[in-house]
Amino acid sequence: MKYFLCLFILSITACSSQDRVNTGKVTFDLSKELISSLDTTKKQIANHILNKQEPLTGNFFQESWISVIKTTNTFNKDVIVEIKEHQPIASLGKDKFITQEGKIISPKEKTKHMSLIKILGSEEEAHSLLDKAILLQNILNIKEKNITRFEHKGSDFYEAEDDTGSRYSFTKGDFRVQLERLEEFILFELNSGNEDHIRYIDLRYKNAIAVSHLNMEKTI
């Protein structure tokens, strides 16, 4: 595991496009690696530039993969449009994402599969949950594991899951203290030479850790 960027900029499976796509007097200058095809969006931008459509609003950027649009006029009065896309770092479910810039977007255009951490909870706490997921990832880097899900389960209860299927339970109020205990536990296990067969770690107990070698459900 290579730390923060490697956790969140996770293998975006992109679809390819031509470097330039002509649409009348408007030419799109695009990267060969795109998150989505942008076919519908390109038509919308072209119509806007050719004064066939109302001005683009903030909702346009929130509801599409487009982050920046830059236009350049050529000597023959054609227009070259450079498009930059949002770069998602986490999925919020229901086709919503958090971007590298910290924006929450809900693109209408479908994409191919992207391997992103899932942040589950209310939209208002999405950034806070992502911050906590990053802190937990820093600890799991010791074991070269990646978080795949961080969820606020309610009742002051957080649950995370890594790419081996192991789950971790925390309480909201004592999260940082419990992270320290998790780090101590992981280091102890590594130094003891124990094989990693643990599939559930519950840190919600005072000064104690409950572990299981099998996935288990807990009632709060």
| Nearest to 72, CA basis, from 25, 108, 109 | 25
Contact 81, 71 (CB under 8 A): yes
Predicted TM-score of the model (pTM): 0.75
| pLDDT surpassing 50 at residue 180 | yes
Instruction: Give the pLDDT of residue 167.
Output: 95
Q: Please state whether beta strands 167-171 and 200-202 pair in parallel, antiparallel, or not at all (unpaired).
A: parallel
Instruction: Give the pLDDT of residue 123.
Output: 93
Instruction: Give the pLDDT of residue 197.
Output: 78
**What's the rounded Cα separation, in Å, for the pair 137 and 210?**
20
**What's the rounded Cα separation, in Å, for the pair 139 and 149?**
15
| pLDDT surpassing 80 at residue 110 | no
Instruction: Give the pLDDT of residue 140.
Output: 96
CATH number 1.10.10.60 is the correct assignment for the domain at 116-212: no
Instruction: Give the pLDDT of residue 32.
Output: 63
Average pLDDT over residues 38-47: 73
> Using CA atoms in the order 213, 133, 68, 108, what is the torsion angle rounded to 10 degrees?
50
The model's pLDDT over 139-170, given as tens digits with 9 standing for 90+, comes to 999 999 999 999 999 889 999 999 999 999 99
Residue with the bigger pLDDT between 15 and 191: it is 191
For the chain, the first-to-last Cα distance in angstroms comes to: 32
CA distance readout (Å), 153 to 29, 110, 198: 44, 28, 21
Average pLDDT over residues 110-118: 83
- Cα torsion 115, 185, 195, 153: sign: negative
Cβ neighbours for 165, distance < 8 A, ≥ 6 positions apart: 199, 215
| CATH 3.40.50.11690 location in the chain | 116-212
